[in-house]
Amino acid sequence: MMEGAWDLLLLSVKVWFSIIGGLIVLPAMCGVSLGVTGLYIKILVKILEWATLRIQRGQKDQPTLQLQPSSGIIQKDDGSMEEEIGKLRRSWPKSLAGGDFTLCDAFYFCKKGIESIVDDQVTQRFTSEELVSWNLLTRTNNNFHYISVRVTIIWGLGVAIRYCVLAPLRITLAFIGLSWLVIGTTLVGLLPNSRAKSWLSDRVHLTCYRICARALSATIHYHNKENQPRKGGICVANHTSPIDIVILANDGCYAMIGQVHGGLMGVLQRSMQRSCPHIWFERSEMKDRHAVARRLRDHIADKNKLPVLIFPEGTCINNTSVMMFKKGSFEVGGTIYPVAIKYDPQFGDAFWNSAKYNMVSYLLRMMTSWAIVCNVWYLPPMTRQEGEDAVHFANRVKSAIAHQGGLVDLSWDGGLKREKVKEMYKEEQQKMYSNMIACSEDNLSSQTSRAPPPHGPVQPVQPPSAHDTVIKGSVRFIHSYTFDEDVKP
């Protein structure tokens, strides 16, 4: 009895790996697709569209409380500090002199502070993107409360398929892909440096990433492939998740740059280093920007080495915007190849919230999602213009990526999700306000000095009233405090 059970189990394992090897691994090694994933995505789109219509129809049938649209308490203005404070002063019944301290100026800073508390531009970039309609995943059912019986049945079938069929298949593929990477790069690393070794290394890496992409049921649409990064260049892209590497390396080989890790990640790094010149540095070396920049400069100086893949944001963003690019990779020179990556959140949330999930939990969430669907745009190569510093060059590249990917272009530093706002940013706003007051006073004084003497006897200067004294004292008290606001670096 037991022997028959073991024989059946062994036969099931053989059939399982034979199907995976014949229908998935071999096509991945050859760089071809059998169209199974594409058919799966088309069926999934039809199911999600049907579920959306059913939910909307059910919501219309439910009695709801009709709420009148409100313009809201806070209305954000895009003007500068000078424009908004000037508008605020002109709204007073009594005309206010430009260079005087006025109590109404404090209202501007209070308004900006409340706006930041209610809806700032940084915190919302590190939460999952909100969906317009439910995608039949329990983890995203926050804003969709009504579910019909038919939708509930489809949801139950989806749970069974994702956890009982897709998850085991994807975990098996991930194991095969990573094992292929470790074993293949170790064997290739034994060969002497030659073109054959480089070619074999590229084949091993491409096969590994293509298998891992199938482990995520990834459907990737590449655009403008004539602008693909070339050897001796630097590829920069917006950063959403660690699987960004899988998405890009599925279409070409790159040299990685990053910190040395331990555990499984360390095993993969050491294996990759044996067959390809990646740039790994110790934690102590990471603090030395010049040492890292020197190694990067030496790498791109060799036109036979693979392009370096860098994510200048330095942290994962939820794929709704592009935040400040660190200038380090734009100081070393060379050609920059911008790449824009945009995920479709309808099939699965690719954003990695490292503060909430560790790497294993995140990968399990990805493998139990419907699929990963994304678009990749290769932008024309860009070089640093004459007289352009690294900061402006980085901002120009960032704007191009944001425009192509349909993302919001922000100048905030992504590191603010872990750190407090630097004092220099607060002092910058204080200087702007001080300069505005000083310039207004200078203009007022110059206008007074150029004005012709008034006709008739000169009126004596009236001493300040008690009301003016109280107001100015209150203003000095208020200006002794710092009002936080959306400060752009």
239 vs 149: CA distance, rounded Å:
39
CA separation for the pair 145, 100 (Å, rounded): 55
pLDDT for 476: 52
Distance CA 7, CA 12 (A): 9
Q: Tell me the torsion sign for CA atoms 420, 421, 424, 426.
A: negative
Q: What's residue 12's pLDDT?
A: 79
Q: What is the length of the chain? A: 489
Q: What percent of the chain has pLDDT over 70?
A: 75
**Neighbour order of strands in the sheet with 308-310:** 218-223, 372-378, 336-343, 234-237, 308-310, 255-259, 279-281
pLDDT tens digits, 323-356: 999 888 898 888 999 999 999 988 988 998 888 8
Query: Quick one: CA dihedral 44, 45, 50, 56, positive or negative?
Result: positive
Residues of the chain with confidence (pLDDT) below 70: 1-2, 58-82, 86, 88-104, 119, 141-147, 283-288, 437-489
Q: For residue range 430-462, what is the model confidence (pLDDT) as tens digits? A: 787 777 766 654 554 454 444 444 444 444 444
What is the structure's pLDDT at 458? 43
Q: Looking at residue 475, what is its pLDDT?
A: 46
Quote the tokens at residue 162: 């994702």
For helices 81-90 and 104-118, the axis angle rounded to 10 degrees is 130
pLDDT of residue 95: 53
- pLDDT score at 230: 92
